[in-house]
Amino acid sequence: MSELKNRYEFILFFDIENGNPNGDPDAGNMPRIDPETSNGLVTDVCIKRKVRNYIEISRAGSLGYDIYVKENAVLNNLNMLAYEELKIKQEAKKLPKEKEEAKKLTDYMCGRFYDIRAFGAVMSNEVNCGQVRGPVQFSFAKSIDPIVPQEVTITRMAVTNEKDAEKERTMGRKHIVPYALYKMEGFISAPLAKRTGFAEKDLDVLWESLVNMFDHDRSAARGKMATRKLVIFKHESELGNCSAQKLFDIISVKRKDISKPPRDFSDYSINLDKSKLPEGVTIIEK
């Protein structure tokens, strides 16, 4: 498997229409916002969850593409798989004293689980397989403009309890954002990728996941959510040819008509000033 030899940064643009991209459980599941600017927020772990879910269904049964953090997973049981497969004696909460054995455990987990070698993991639980710092990291996504979350009343013809059987319908509420375009920044370290075994093939799977993940994440809360643009910056070297922020500043997003609220992706223009692209960096657009 070809190892990663280049540093990457990327920007992902995605939007939502009449849905809730990332509810805040501390605020009644309302869409997350920056309270000082009212810009919408989507957490990094929310996007990682969608990447994991996409890989779980698109690479089901493929060697090396199991998912570690998934619904109903018992992490200690998954950690124990490494001890059993490698025939290493397990001690509660402790890594083996021999460094080679400890490394074998961590390498096994990286090799088996895509999300460990991509995002890293803390596996120092009751069954200890060490800690891994992942080469792929996401920022919080932030909406280009402030959002105005709305609370919508909904009805249901059925009832839950026998005592409510005489009621014609029950009432509920859901929170939506009428429309918002979000921008997320991402980072990929080649030196860290070598430590976890994250290779070129894994990178291709990551790009595929970021482009397609929302197509397999439909729900009543997120019926119309889509990746709109993925801009990738590829450095010639492992350590990089310039700072990430210089690359991010090349991209600008503007609303075409500020006299009305945005309601569609076509209301925005995304511009790349390639004249400012530093030497040794190339742009890939998806």
Are 251 and 229 in contact by the 8 Å Cβ rule? The answer is no
Are 241 and 280 in contact by the 8 Å Cβ rule? The answer is yes
| Res 167 pLDDT > 90 | no
Q: Which residue has 């920044």 as its token pair?
A: 185
Domain spans of the chain?
A: 8-285
Q: Which residue has 């280049």 as its token pair?
A: 6
Which helix (H) or strand (E) segment is 46 a member of?
A: helix 44-58
Are 1 and 199 in contact by the 8 Å Cβ rule? The answer is yes
Q: Mind listing the pLDDT tens digit for each residue in 221-272?
A: 898 999 999 999 999 999 999 999 999 999 999 999 999 999 999 999 999 9
End-to-end Cα separation, the chain, in angstroms: 24
- What pLDDT was estimated at residue 240? 97
Q: Which value, to the nearest 10 degrees, does the dihedral of the CA atoms of residues 243, 246, 247, 250 take?
A: 180
Q: What Å distances lie between residue 65 and 119, 197, 224, 275, CA to CA?
A: 13, 12, 28, 39
Q: Mind listing the pLDDT tens digit for each residue in 37-65?
A: 999 999 999 999 999 999 999 999 999 99
Which helix (H) or strand (E) segment is 72 a member of?
A: none
Q: Mind listing the pLDDT tens digit for each residue in 26-38?
A: 998 999 999 999 9
| Res 114 pLDDT > 80 | yes
As a whole-number percent, the residues of the chain with pLDDT over 70 amount to 99
3-state secondary structure of 95: coil
Q: Tell me the average pLDDT across 192-216.
A: 97
pTM of the model: 0.94
Q: Tell me the average pLDDT across 127-146.
A: 98
Q: Tell me the average pLDDT across 75-96.
A: 96
- What pLDDT was estimated at residue 131? 96
DSSP state for residue 6 in the 8-state scheme: S
Q: How far apart are CA 121 and CA 222, in angstroms?
A: 28
Range list of H helices, 87-165 = 99-112, 114-119
